[in-house]
Structure 1
Amino acid sequence: MVSDPELIKQILDTRFGSFADRRPPAIDVRSSFSYILPALTGRDWERMHRNYKRVFTLKNELKIVPKINDCCDKLIETWNKRITDKDNEIDIEQSLRVLILDTMAWTVFGTRVSPEFTEGTRRLTQCLLPMYLIVTLFPKLTEKISRAIKLCVHTHDKYFLDYLNREITQRDRNGSRGNDFLQLFMDLRKHNSFGEPLVQSVVDDNVIPDEDRLTEQENVWQLFTFPFWNFRSMFTALGFGLYELAVNPDIQDRLRNEINTTIGGGGDGCGDDDNASDTIDVNSLDKLVYLEAFLLEVHRKYPVFYRLSRSVSKDTVLGSTGSTTTTGIMMPKNQIVNIPVHALHHNSSHYPEPELFDPDRFMPENLSSNINPYTYLAYGIGPRQCIAKRFSQMQLKLVLCRLIRKYEFYRLIDTTVPPVYHNNPEAVTVSPIKLGIKYVA
């Protein structure tokens, strides 16, 4: 376990070559999740990382923003109806699950959320989290039940495999295109579904080198990054963000004032007379300084994952004072290094009063002088940090802006303060959170 910021800097950044690989699984289930970017190692990771950089460009991300607004419209319509029916209590988990599943279905897979999509995602994520729990807490048991784990994963990823293969074949057959991440990854392929070569890619101004292009199966596998990784990160940030707004009305008022002052109000707050398609120019999001600080504080207090893990690829000395000295910490090849993200974010030496939710920590006048970047690892840091960081932040800011300028969130008698955490060694999970909502006065 490494918690010293200078050593973390070496592991994740300056000595990255020796720590480029994530912790390998206790068993290799050889499922679709074995081939997504977070699971790859060595040159396989380098090649796929170059392709992800071609997908996650600002130009491509901006094309997908209208679909996020579209999904926000649906949530707003649902909440407006609840308020009209005098039902002002919302279950944050239930509401956000619908929003995030709809956003993921529409922006990633090019389909609207359906009972089948919801059930497929539920089965897949609920299969994986217990598997990580068993692997983490009972490593000796893992090998004994490996066949059962493999069968579980293969059974539960079938829905997405079947859907993706059908959708890709249909688009190739009809020559149709989708404005989604599925299409962007399809454009990275070497051949289409019928073996015909793809020479030029729309995700890059230049022809992609042949060695970087994806096979048909690799194209399908990459979409499995989203149901698990994207869903969990969005769910955690939005859920706890709305919770902190409700229990900190002064912060909520300050955010709403910044949003209304910078990009305009969200209507007159009377429901039916309000335009549900009250979209936001994403270029204005960068001007929302306090919203940026707010999200940074959400990620600090509630990081999605408790730790980062790396595998040492070759014998390496950390903390040495010179290239030929024997001082420092020796990391042998295949050593697993864990970095305690949650503990770092709640260390009072780095963040005074760590349980206090205080976005001002991350305001520009405080950020550079008070925050060591290697004590803040919400998205990781260095070459292997989350490659979708910019898109994720854009999506979070857009959704929060739409909701904050239209609704006021408040604490109910049933709102649990502080939230009740579940025992999960990998990811932050809590009991359901209930909040009240009403139109902004």
Structure 2
Amino acid sequence: MIVTEVLLSIILATVAAVIYITYRNLTYWQRRGIPCDTPHWIHGNLYGVAKTMSIGEAFTKVYRRYVGSGPFCGIYFLQNPSVLVLTPELTKQVLIKDFANFTDRGLYTNEKDDPLSGHLFQLESPKWRVMRNKLTPTFTSGQMKFMFSNVIAVAEQFVDTLNSEMVQSNVIEIKDILARFTTDVIGSCAFGIECNSLKNPDVIFRQMGLRIFNDHRHSSFVLAMINAAPSVARYFHVRLRPDAITDFFMNIVRETVDYREKNEVQRNDFLNILMELNKGKLKFDNNADEKGLTLEEMAAQAFVFFAAGFETSSTTLSFLLYELAVNQDIQKRLRAEILEEVEHHGGKVTYECINSMPYMKQVISETLRKYPVVPHLQRKAIADYNVPGHPNYVIEKGTTVYIPVMGIHHNPEFYPAPDKFDPERFAPAQMQLRDAINWLPFGDGPRNCIGLRFGQMQIRIALTYLLRKFEFCTCPKTDIPLVMDPKQFLNNTKSGMHLKIQAI
């Protein structure tokens, strides 16, 4: 009887403690007088995410509700009190001015058990700073020129493949074929390997590319819990990716490095640069740590270059071609600019050619404005932070800060009629009237996207080759408006993207 009473007392005390902690967590912002929505007791303010709306849409709704109320509002990521930035001033402070206090993203890494998680996007300082310094020379304009010919070769294959597929039907699901194009580009520029997914969609690189974003070791809820308590996940040796994906990329890097070293092979690609870093042939700014990269570190950087490079560029290109199909006048104007510039450069597509088209730059910028592939940015406070000019707004140490890129890009105060596709927003005169911090497809500050030059080059080359040869139109299979997939973290459509393509 006594044992039963003791056990019952322990259970009741445990339940009471859980209720109290939950209550304290979920009233954090209310007790501080910071605006916030009433949270769900398990999901926080993310109830319905991945079912009825994407996380980008969830953040956008909260942003629209509270913008103008202060520098930030409160949001609960599960039971974790987090910050949603509402003003350009605080965005600038977090990303640029006070970056030293928001260096980390607060994402889960476990290099020991899950080596591919140790890549630049997820690493925390000081490892992130050292790795960034090492990799910065990789993405200079000079290195882009070295990789340019590799991308051109794949673009020429892309045109041939598209012509072949149009023999069967001129209504094509362009997202898939664009992903095959960018897979071949990244395979060539990252690993020096001819993937040939344009010719054969079932090749291993294409399948692994699909698995990176579709095969998950854990559910969305478990992933959220892992990121909410990373130290606990590391204690239990939690890995993020299926073993098959990790094994594939580790093996491909190991085998390629071994082959090149034994045969003294040199290529103008990302892996060759990593190998030179590993041997100490390339120097970087941080002289305090000039050790070479381990094989695991090389594999992790090659992995994220592949994953980010093929998916973000193919998604952006598919949205861009969709808008050109809907807006024929914009397509005609862009084609005219391309034809004129190529002719001006002797009929050849050169590095200087693709970088001398101002209207193309405007079209790409507007696509990234309307359809930011990454819908929000994430940072973590290293120390308590008092928002300048707002004494009641304090971001405590360890708090995650979210910047709602999609919400900012669709704010009519910055972009009137935000649902309209209008490249004139990025004409030089218009850009001078708008704070640059309100366009964030690549982030900003020291931790912006290191591969933005490569992504822009890949997109410009693809557009140059496609619009010289083909015209893109809508068809009965085209979803107007587009239906977005709530299950995807990155902005993406639910059922592909079908367009009618005609040879010119």
What is the correspondence of 1:23-422 to structure 2 with a 5 Å cutoff?
23-25=106-108, 30-83=113-166, 85=167, 87-113=169-195, 115-128=203-216, 134-136=222-224, 150=239, 152-189=241-278, 198-201=279-282, 211-264=290-343, 279-320=348-389, 327=391, 329-369=393-433, 371-422=434-485
Q: Kindly provide the CA deviation profile for residues 220-244 of structure 1, in whole angstroms up to 9, marking residues without a partner as x.
A: 2211112322222112111101111
Deviation at 1:438, TM superposition (A): 1.0
Q: Kindly provide the CA deviation profile for residues 66-109 of structure 1, in whole angstroms up to 9, marking residues without a partner as x.
A: 111111111111122234x2621111122112111111111111
The letter of the residue matching 2:132 is: H
Change (3 A) 1:45 1:235: same
Q: Kindly provide the CA deviation profile for residues 138-192 of structure 1, in whole angstroms up to 9, marking residues without a partner as x.
A: 9789989997962743332211111110110111111112221111111100xxx
The letter of the residue matching 1:126 is: N
Which region of structure 1 is more displaced relative to structure 2, 215-224 or 344-353? 215-224
Question: What CA distance in whole angstroms lies between the structure 2 residues aligned with 1:31 and 1:354?
Answer: 41
In structure 1, the residue matched to 2:12 is none
Specify the SS of the correspondent of 2:386. Answer: strand
RMSD, matched Cα: 2.9
Gaps of 5+ in 2: 1-83, 197-202
In structure 2, the residue matched to 1:13 is 96
Contact 1:69 1:279 in 2 (8 A): no
Question: What CA distance in whole angstroms lies between the structure 2 residues aligned with 1:42 and 1:138?
Answer: 19
% identical aligned pairs: 29
Specify the SS of the correspondent of 1:310. Answer: strand
Contact 1:164 1:220 in 2 (8 A): yes
Question: What CA distance in whole angstroms lies between the structure 2 residues aligned with 1:139 and 1:163?
Answer: 28
Question: What CA distance in whole angstroms lies between the structure 2 residues aligned with 1:347 and 1:224?
Answer: 34
The letter of the residue matching 1:107 is: C
Q: Kindly provide the CA deviation profile for residues 37-74 of structure 1, in whole angstroms up to 9, marking residues without a partner as x.
A: 01111111111011111211211111111111111111
Gaps of 5+ in 1: 190-197, 268-277, 322-326
Specify the SS of the correspondent of 2:446. Answer: coil
Question: What CA distance in whole angstroms lies between the structure 2 residues aligned with 1:291 and 1:264?
Answer: 16
Question: What CA distance in whole angstroms lies between the structure 1 residues aligned with 2:372 and 2:360?
Answer: 17
Contact 2:106 2:227 in 1 (8 A): no
Deviation at 1:368, TM superposition (A): 1.1
Specify the SS of the correspondent of 2:445. Answer: coil
Query: Larger Rg: 1 or 2?
Result: 2
Q: Kindly provide the CA deviation profile for residues 230-284 of structure 1, in whole angstroms up to 9, marking residues without a partner as x.
A: 22211211110111111110000010111112222999xxxxxxxxxx7511112
Question: What CA distance in whole angstroms lies between the structure 2 residues aligned with 1:157 and 1:354?
Answer: 40
In structure 2, the residue matched to 1:275 is none
In structure 2, the residue matched to 1:271 is none
Contact 2:111 2:118 in 1 (8 A): no
The letter of the residue matching 1:157 is: T
Specify the SS of the correspondent of 2:290. Answer: helix
Q: Structure 2-normalised TM-score? A: 0.76
Contact 1:31 1:153 in 2 (8 A): no
Specify the SS of the correspondent of 2:277. Answer: coil
The letter of the residue matching 2:450 is: I
The letter of the residue matching 2:431 is: L
Question: What CA distance in whole angstroms lies between the structure 2 residues aligned with 1:428 and 1:133?
Answer: 19
The letter of the residue matching 1:299 is: L
Change (3 A) 1:407 1:208: farther
Change (3 A) 1:149 1:419: farther
Q: Kindly provide the CA deviation profile for residues 208-231 of structure 1, in whole angstroms up to 9, marking residues without a partner as x.
A: 776253233322221111232222
Question: What CA distance in whole angstroms lies between the structure 2 residues aligned with 1:402 and 1:78?
Answer: 12
The letter of the residue matching 1:217 is: E
Change (3 A) 1:75 1:216: same
Change (3 A) 1:260 1:332: same
Question: What CA distance in whole angstroms lies between the structure 1 residues aligned with 2:338 and 2:141?
Answer: 22
